[in-house]
Copies of this chain bind each other. A is one copy, B any other.
């Protein structure tokens, strides 16, 4: 079995922003689909795993683009596994134009395998007799020339925005959808930011789940020209902007 899976899509009219370029949340969705196909076709899909009471959980995603795909462009995503540790696996992505091969950018992600009964991470190397090791493509064999995930530091105690969550925010597991967080984070920026800058790099780390009806508080801080964001949740109706950290993110503009 090929170690690389290639996933193709076309940039649809309703999937571009007011500048005519693909929404980052939609790109994130396509990357997750590509990951899903890669693991499904190698016997590691959620459909196989759920029967055995395991499921993949996305822990981190970092996307770095030198160009953002534009409306009607044909895009090809390559995805492969760079490494497997006991509790985590690193999956990378290459994003390029399907017609002329020019590279839009790369992405890195980190996943854990959760036992759905205990909610504890599982030992990836022990599952299926270490079968996952057959699919590794090392950084030497297939480079992914963007930095690994960085640290997010937000000390602010005053939220920039409070966002209630509704029906459309929630996925089949009842959790706030990982793509919706990306939308809400980019919605923190004013129109001028998108007119005058290009989104160069976006990092997100999923720390805890939030649920339909939770109020999300967005704390932000500019650190050396980078925008750091921390989302904390308040369960049910909020009285004070406190609570557990759900997501940390970083946005870098050019």
Tell me the A residues contacting B by CB distance below 8 Å.
12-14, 16-20, 23, 25, 29, 32-33, 36, 46, 71, 166-168, 170-174, 177-179, 183-184, 186-187, 189, 191, 194, 212-213
Contact = CB atoms under 8 A, between A and B. Distances in A.
Contacts of A46: 13
A13 B25 contact: no
A179 B14 contact: yes
B168 A186 contact: yes
A17 B170 contact: yes
A184 B177 CA distance: 16
Contacts of A186: 167-168
Contact of A167 (B173, B174, B189, B213): B189
Contact of A18 (B23, B184, B194, B212): B212
Contacts of A33: 12-14
A135 B194 CA distance: 41
Given A18-B171, A18-B173, A168-B184, 16 more contacts: A12-B29, A13-B32, A13-B36, A13-B172, A14-B29, A14-B32, A14-B33, A16-B171, A17-B168, A18-B172, A18-B212, A23-B168, A71-B172, A166-B187, A168-B187, A191-B213
6 contacts: A13-B33, A13-B171, A17-B168, A19-B172, A166-B187, A191-B213
A167 B179 contact: no
Nearest to A21: B172
